[in-house]
Amino acid sequence: MRGALVQEWIRLRTLRSTWWLSGVSLVVTTMLAVAFTLTAGTSTAARLGLPRGAGSPAVLGDQASFALVLSSAMQMTTLLVGLIGVFAFGHDYRHGTILPMLTSVPRRNSLASAKLVGVALWAAAVGVLCIALSAVVLVVVGGGRFAPGVGFADGRTARVVGGTVILVVLFSLIGLGLGWLLRNVPAAVSLLFVLPVAVEPILRVLLSVDALHSLAGAGRFLPFTAGGQLVAYTTKVDPSVPEAFRNDLSPLAGGLTFTAVVAVLLVISAVLFRRRDA
Amino acid sequence: MSTDNVLEALPSDPSQAVKPLRRGRGDAGASADKCLIKAVGLTKRFGKKLAVDDLTFEVHPGQVTGFLGPNGAGKSTAMRLMLGLDGGGGRTTFDGVPYRELRDPAREVGALLEAKAFHPTRSARNHLRMLAAPSRISDRRVDEVLELVGLASVAGKGPKSFSLGMSQRLGLAVALLGDPRVLILDEPANGLDPQGINWLRSFLQSFAESGRTVLVSSHQLAEMAQMADHLVVIGRGRLISDLPTDEFESRWSLKSVSVQSPQSEQLRRLLIDRGATVQSPHGDAFVVTGLDQAQIGDVAAGAGIVLHELATRVASLEEAFLEATADAQEHPIRTTSDLSAA
């Protein structure tokens, strides 16, 4: 197993795409953190329904806005790290490297476990770095933009930070699972983007129509929607959010729902991996 | 970079590149490191099609065993089954141990199954380092095999632009990483230029002579004739022949005798009466099968028939192969006469 882990470590490090996707994640997250910090007061006012614009009293960012900056990684890093996951098996099947990899590590469980651990650790590292950069942005740019008492020493903010890392890791694993199951990079990438960005929002809108009103609550348990609750600062319903997209699922329930979906995908992929030809 | 440039780096004497066989553990001596491959009842089905049908054969150490068959015969599938890459029936053992249960597979069995099995932008050296890691093979050995296959000068480059021949060399380098006791190579000569093929032949022969085991598939029959000591021939997934190369040639060769006589009509009748088959009559000349040169000479002498030519013709390995696999072509090529008839 140790040898398989070293192999996975070399595989990850020697792919340009790993570095590009990780680098772009850090840059985009930093830019988002700057944007969220600069607009912390505005977003706080919108959420609280306070008057904005000329003549209105200045609003400083609250703790929720502070936590939003620290969770900037959930905006794009999740998808980019998901791509790193897709490539874990996708590249091997696309370029035929699965053959020499399986001859060097013939026990398929060992090879798969090494990939899971390698990708998850890499994703966690990228997630932690993104949060660290967001924290630096808060320190450098955030001075005077947040209300007194708002800061890092807050329990719920710590939970959001932890949830962000978990969400990034789960996205990397769902990408890995899609690449593993489909053995086709374009198909896996398409699903990785289309499911959270298009399919789930459409389903949630459809579930909110009157005819399906009894099913409206089910929309909260759609996997990516539920997973998003991992970085929710509060479960209190935000009136500024359209009804179809409101979510009162707790971070724990949301996280467990998403984790269960990822686990099912990985188990199906693992069973097929043992049965399928290389 | 062209393959020719790379060729300059190939060792002139491939036998120098083959390390002596490792001594066995304990007092068993070198014989303990010789590996016998036993494939028993290999079977693989794709839907309704039986790609490999109850294939059983052995590959012995100390010789190059050629794995021959027409396109689609099931050679590659059988090799994948042997290495546990595909699911199917049967069992292959390497000194009694299935591939998946080998403790250190890269040091036991080196395999080349596909030439272009690499990521296009990962450098050749990193590709090898990645595959060497599970067996704790050093970076020094990685550089050694790159040198051995003549790719040292492009070790830092991505193989995206490698020719087929260079890709084959990289695949061979992977197979050699662990200095294994066994080599299983699927069409390794594909894409190699004549110098490369010559080098490969010499290398594999030296490798086998050191007491190791080599199974190499090829459709290049002339190449097999020069390279292999033993031939396992399959067609439509079934074993057709499992013989030493020279025995295969003599067993499957149709020996015929070319005859020329001014009394050819009379001689043909006499030979047919004695059970011979007469083919290709052309003027005074014809070809006889079913009787050998001496028997035909005796018939002619007994009847007072003058002979202008009496020569035995032995089919080449290629003809023997075509004869052996004539009924086992998965996708037979239509000849011009077939097309005319159609």
Query: Residue B320's pLDDT is what?
Result: 66
Contact B85 A105 (CB under 8 A): no
Residue ending a domain, choose from B202, B223, B244: B244
* Domain assignment of residue B249, yes or no: no
**Statement to judge: residues B161 and B203 lie in one domain:** yes
Looking at residue B17, its pLDDT comes to 65
pLDDT value of residue B3: 43
Question: Distance between CA atoms of B83 and B72, rounded to whole angstroms?
Answer: 19
Asked if pLDDT for residue B6 goes beyond 60, the answer is: no
B264 lies in some domain: yes
The per-residue pLDDT for range B297-313, each reduced to its tens digit, is 999 999 999 999 999 87
Using CA atoms, how far apart are residues B332 and B91, in angstroms rounded to an integer?
Answer: 30
Give me the domain span that covers residue B298.
255-314
Q: What is the pLDDT of residues A63-122, one digit of tens each?
A: 999 999 999 988 899 999 999 999 999 999 999 999 999 999 999 999 999 999 999 999
Closest CB to B85: pick one of A4, A6, A277: A277
Mean pLDDT computed over every residue of chain A: 92
pLDDT tier for residue A31 given thresholds of 50, 70 and 90: very high
Q: Does A113 touch chain B (CB under 8 A)?
A: no
pLDDT at B319: 67
Which one of B82, B114, B116, B122 makes the best mutation probe of the A interface by having the most chain A beta carbons within 10 Å?
A: B122
Check whether residue B165 and residue B230 sit in a common domain: yes
Interface mutation target, options B44, B80, B119, chain A, most CBs of A under 10 Å: B119
Q: Pick B24 or B130 by higher pLDDT.
A: B130
Nearest to A122 by CA among A165, A162, A159: A165
Instruction: Decide if B121 and A16 are in contact by the 8 Å CB cutoff.
Output: yes
- Mean pLDDT, residues A25-48 taken together: 92
**Mean pLDDT on A2-15:** 95
Same domain, B168 and B222: yes
Is B125 in the same domain as B269? no
Question: Partners of B235 in the beta sheet?
Answer: B238
* Structure-model confidence comparison of residues B340 and A53, the more confident one: A53
Query: Are B223 and B264 in a shared domain?
Result: no
Instruction: Quote the DSSP letter at residue B333.
Output: P
Percent of chain B with pLDDT over 90: 59
- What per-residue confidence (pLDDT) applies to B338? 53
Q: Is A214 near chain B, with CB under 8 Å?
A: no
Q: pLDDT digit string (tens) for B227-239?
A: 999 999 998 899 9
User: Which of B197, B223, B244 is a domain's end point?
Assistant: B244
Cβ contacts of A101 on chain B, cutoff 8 Å: 131
Are the beta carbons of A192 and A184 closer than 8 angstroms? no
The end-to-end CA distance of chain A, in Å, is 20
CATH of residue B294's domain is 3.30.70.980
**B227 and B276 both lie in a single domain:** no
Asked if this assembly's ipTM is beyond 0.90, the reply is no
- CB atoms near residue A234 (< 10 Å): 14
User: Phi first, then psi: what are they for B239, rounded to 5°?
Assistant: -75, 130
**Closest chain A C-alpha to B58 CA, distance in angstroms:** 21
Asked if pLDDT for residue B341 goes beyond 70, the answer is no
User: What residue in B sits closest to A8 (Cα-Cα)?
Assistant: B130
Sheet holding B109-112, edge to edge: B109-112, B182-186, B213-218, B63-68, B230-235, B238-244
Say yes or no to pLDDT of A216 above 80: no
| Domain presence at residue B8 | yes
Q: Does A97 touch chain B (CB under 8 A)?
A: yes
CB pair distance less than 8 Å for B83 and A95: no
Q: What is the mean pLDDT of residues B147-173?
A: 93
Set of chain B residues whose Cβ sits within 8 Å of the Cβ of A11 = 130
A204 or A160, greater pLDDT: A160
Q: Are residues B73 and B214 in the same domain?
A: yes
Q: In the predicted model, what is the mean pLDDT of chain B?
A: 85
* Cβ-based contacts of A109 with chain B (< 8 Å): none
Which chain B residues contact residue A14 at CB under 8 A? 122-123, 126-127, 129-130
Model confidence at A176: pLDDT above 90: yes
Structure tokens at B162: 């490698």
- Which residue did the predictor score with more confidence, B305 or B252? B305
Q: Is B159 within a domain?
A: yes
| Terminal-residue alpha carbon distance, chain B | 48
Q: SS3 string of B59-114?
A: ECCCEEEEEECCCCCCHHHHHHHHCCCCCCEEEEEECCECHHHCCCHHHHEEEECC
The residue among B220, B244, B268 that closes a domain is: B244
Residue A123 in this model has a pLDDT that exceeds 70: yes
- Domains identified in chain B, total number: 2
pLDDT given for residue B2 in this prediction? 44
pLDDT at residue number A56: 74
| Domain assignment of residue B341, yes or no | no
Q: For residue B30, give the CATH number of its domain.
A: 3.40.50.300
Residues B229 and B288 in one domain: no
Instruction: Note whether B123 and B174 are same-domain residues.
Output: yes
In a domain, B337, yes or no: no
Q: Are B63 and B164 contained in the same domain?
A: yes
The pLDDT of residue A192 is above 50: yes
Is B283 among the domain residues?
A: yes
Are B148 and B280 contained in the same domain? no
Do the domain assignments include residue B68? Answer: yes
Which residue in chain B is spatially nearest to A101 when comparing CA positions?
B131
Percent pLDDT > 70 in chain A is 97
Both B138 and B283 in one domain: the answer is no
Dihedral angle at the C-alpha atoms of B215, B219, B224, B228, nearest 10 degrees? 20
